Amino acid sequence: MLPDSASIQSTLRKAVAAIIGVVLSLVLLTALLVTGFYLLVNAATLALAPLVGKSGAMAITGGACLCLLVLFFYRLTRTPKPRRNGQSSQSGPDSGSPIELLRALIARNPLEAAALAFAVGVAEQNDPRLKKLLLQGGMVLMQQSSGSGSSESGGFEESAAPAKDKASFE
């Protein structure tokens, strides 16, 4: 039984209204966040002005904002430390079944695993060789990002495809 035109239009209107509502709420929340931060900086400057003067207060609040910005970008760009779980410290990365290794990689890198699954799902429809290449490349990237190798070149050498697999891609 096919839905009629009125129900499709109603559903479409609701979907558009929901999308517009989400976008407007994000814009409003962003504006409130920026305004709140501006008011906090202004209040800090006004509070410090009687103690160190207006220019000193502006310098102190500006320096504090700059330090917060540097800290934010440092935390954003630093490489994560390898996690040490009780199970991973007992057994090396080579021990255990490949399924357990895959589960550990997916647990440590959920976004990379989701992107790889999407790419493999798209590629599987057309070319099985491309699917195999994507899987190998994705596994290498996930192993490198999790820091399993001692050096970057070591990670490539350990998980590089054998020569017979490389020949099958050409």
User: Are 17 and 42 part of one and the same domain?
Assistant: yes
Q: Which of 77, 108, 134 is the last residue of a domain?
A: 77
Higher pLDDT, 131 or 27: 27
Confidence (pLDDT) at 43: 94
Confidence (pLDDT) at 95: 58
Within a domain: residue 134? yes
User: Are 18 and 69 part of one and the same domain?
Assistant: yes
Structural domain containing residue 59: 10-77
CA angle 91/103/94 to nearest 5° reads: 30
Within a domain: residue 131? yes
Backbone angles phi, psi at 125, to 5 degrees: -70, -30
The answer to whether 104 and 88 are in contact (CB under 8 A) is yes
User: Are 112 and 146 part of one and the same domain?
Assistant: yes
Model's pTM, two decimal places? 0.39
Which pLDDT band holds residue 85 (cuts at 50, 70, 90)?
low
User: Are 139 and 107 part of one and the same domain?
Assistant: yes
Within a domain: residue 24? yes
Most confident of 31-45, 63-77, 142-156: 31-45
CA angle 112/117/121 to nearest 5° reads: 150
Within a domain: residue 83? no
User: Are 29 and 66 part of one and the same domain?
Assistant: yes
Within a domain: residue 88? no
Within a domain: residue 86? no
CA distances for 5 relative to 71, 78, 144, 166, angstroms: 54, 53, 52, 53
Residue 165 neighbours by CB under 8 Å, 6+ apart: 132, 136
Which pLDDT band holds residue 105 (cuts at 50, 70, 90)?
confident
